[in-house]
């Protein structure tokens, strides 16, 4: 596009491009910063999108592009597909959509590196360029297949339990070492095409074999980690293209993803190594059901309405079951009715509640729950001792006292919402089956707990009707 400008302006273009890239980077940084709060997340996402648009437009002046037809067509088609998908996707399917985005991001980076490698004479590419090309292909391909395996586990196409060959961890480590060796070989002898294709194929296989053994309970961490991988792959592609904006934006995504992964691991009291090589969770045929000798108390809408209506403070602990039932709007209606009675209502959000980081925050924001009512685990835990009633809606593992009391439990040491310290807990659940981690919950059998069985949305509707009858 630059060839269409006057000659005296063309000399200023390279510096102007780098300056505008810096502006776009500023949009990315501010956008990511604003994603840290539900109150500013929407504007943060919009700022980052503006930065990306600036980057795309400016890059057209920097790449010696002659024909724009395919590029413009790609932008239009991609924009339409993205807009339609964003409008149609259900909140329950948001984790799967994020996994797909991660996969496409990694795949795109690998294809960009491949395209640049195929465009020029390999003998003319410097060694550092060949290394970054190999790494972009390797990381991007692992992200691509790994993300779609995660998508399959979340969607239910693939079993949520551990699916692995004997010695799977050693196989994965060996294959990764071989792939890195192929990157080195590729950098030394880029004209030997077999090495390139072996690297490509092996990386795709590693993505499958790495995520397949990981249990469903660890999917939030896996999604966050794959998001980081997609950023690193993009950054490597930026080095291949010599594009500073792609290098910086990829590094931002990679770093943000790793930081979030670390936060998620701490929330589960597990190391990343343990997540990747010692996974647990997912419903399987060997999952043990609740002990039939244990007794629990069942309750119904009228009783729950009375307890909540005459409470001083009610805390709501949401989980994935709330999203499955699409009950967030009904929950907000119930909360409004309680507040009209003078009841203090707060929401306790566990970092790994749901199937991806921030899932519950987004779900409740969709129902216009005030941001100042959303409390992180560290903020809400000290308040449970002064809470009259905790409504646990679709959550299980994140409120399981076994994390504090059972050293033999797989979740022992995992920080949880200390709902057991409240005066009364009421669990909204379809049945007594274990949660996603496949572990029975001792809270269900506590003297202070009651079970309210049924679909979460229907149960909340019954609760709303009972509250109206009290008026």
CA distance 384 to 380: 7
Q: What is the DSSP letter of 421?
A: G
User: Long-range contacts made by residues 283-286, C-beta under 8 angstroms, separation at least 24?
Assistant: 283/160, 283/161, 283/216, 283/434, 283/436, 283/438, 284/159, 284/160, 284/161, 284/162, 284/438
What phi and psi, each to the nearest 5 degrees, are found at residue 293?
A: -80, -15
Structure tokens at 468: 């109206």
CA distance 168 to 205: 13
Structure tokens at 440: 């029975």
The residue with tokens 């780098």 is 18
What phi and psi, each to the nearest 5 degrees, are found at residue 408?
A: -85, -5
Do residues 50 and 27 touch, judged by C-beta distance below 8 A? Answer: yes
User: Does residue 397 carry a catalytic annotation?
Assistant: yes
Residue 196: name the closest of 271, 273, 125, 301 by CA: 125
Q: How far is CA 370 from the centre of its chain?
A: 23
Do residues 344 and 312 touch, judged by C-beta distance below 8 A? Answer: yes
Q: Which of 62, 218, 397, 440 is catalytic?
A: 397
33, 36, 41, 43: CA torsion to nearest 10: -20
CA angle 387, 392, 393 (to 5 degrees): 145
Do residues 125 and 190 touch, judged by C-beta distance below 8 A? Answer: yes
Judged by DSSP in three states, 172 sits in helix
CA distance 245 to 23: 10
Classify residue 463 by burial, with Cβ atoms within 10 Å: 0-12, 13-18, 19+: buried
Q: How far is CA 24 from the centre of its chain?
A: 25
Q: What is the DSSP letter of 287?
A: P
**Edge-to-edge order in the sheet of strand 344-349:** 374-376, 344-349, 313-318, 389-393, 425-429, 449-453
Q: What is the DSSP letter of 298?
A: B
Report, as residue numbers or ranges, the catalytic residues.
Answer: 397
């Amino acid at each position: 596009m630059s060839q269409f400008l006057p000659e005296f302006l063309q000399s200023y273009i390279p510096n102007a491009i780098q300056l505008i890239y810096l502006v776009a980077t500023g949009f990315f940084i501010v956008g990511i910063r604003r994603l840290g709060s539900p109150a500013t997340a929407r504007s943060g996402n919009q700022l980052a999108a503006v930065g990306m648009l600036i980057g795309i437009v400016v890059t057209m002046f920097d790449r010696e592009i002659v024909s724009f037809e395919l590029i413009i067509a790609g932008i239009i088609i991609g924009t339409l597909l993205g807009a339609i998908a964003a409008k149609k996707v259900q909140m329950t399917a948001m984790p799967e959509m994020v996994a797909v985005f991660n996969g496409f991001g990694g795949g795109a980076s690998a294809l960009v590196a491949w395209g640049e490698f195929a465009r020029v004479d390999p003998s003319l590419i410097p060694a550092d360029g060949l290394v970054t090309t190999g790494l972009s292909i390797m990381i991007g391909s692992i992200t691509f297949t790994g993300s779609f395996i995660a998508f399959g586990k979340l969607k239910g196409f693939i079993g949520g339990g551990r699916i692995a060959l004997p010695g799977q961890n050693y196989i994965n480590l060996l294959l990764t070492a071989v792939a890195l060796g192929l990157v080195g070989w590729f950098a030394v002898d880029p004209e030997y095409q077999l090495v390139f294709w072996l690297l490509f194929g092996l990386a795709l296989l590693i993505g499958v074999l790495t995520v397949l053994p990981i249990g469903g309970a660890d999917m939030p961490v896996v999604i966050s980690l794959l998001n980081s991988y997609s950023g690193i792959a993009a950054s490597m592609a930026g080095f291949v293209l010599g594009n500073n904006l792609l290098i910086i934006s990829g590094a931002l995504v990679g770093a943000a993803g790793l930081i979030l992964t670390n936060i998620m691991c701490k929330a589960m009291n597990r190391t990343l190594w343990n997540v990747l090589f010692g996974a647990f969770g997912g419903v399987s045929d060997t999952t043990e059901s609740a002990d039939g000798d244990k007794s629990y108390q069942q309750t119904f809408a009228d009783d729950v309405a009375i307890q909540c209506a005459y409470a001083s403070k009610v805390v709501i602990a949401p989980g994935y079951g709330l999203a499955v039932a699409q009950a967030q709007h009904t929950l907000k209606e119930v909360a409004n009715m309680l507040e009209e009675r003078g009841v203090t209502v707060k929401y306790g959000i566990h970092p790994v509640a749901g199937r991806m980081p921030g899932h519950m925050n987004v779900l409740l924001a969709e129902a216009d729950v005030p941001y100042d009512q959303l409390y992180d685990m560290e903020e809400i835990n000290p308040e449970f001792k002064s809470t009259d009633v905790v409504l646990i809606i679709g959550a299980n593992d994140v409120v399981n006292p076994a994390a504090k009391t059972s050293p033999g439990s797989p979740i022992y040491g995992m920080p949880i919402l200390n709902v057991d310290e409240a005066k009364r807990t009421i669990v909204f659940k379809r049945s007594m089956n274990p949660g996603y981690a496949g572990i029975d919950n001792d809270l269900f059998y506590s003297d202070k707990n009651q079970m309210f069985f049924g679909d979460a949305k229907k149960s909340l509707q019954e609760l709303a009707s009972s509250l109206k009858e009290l008026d």
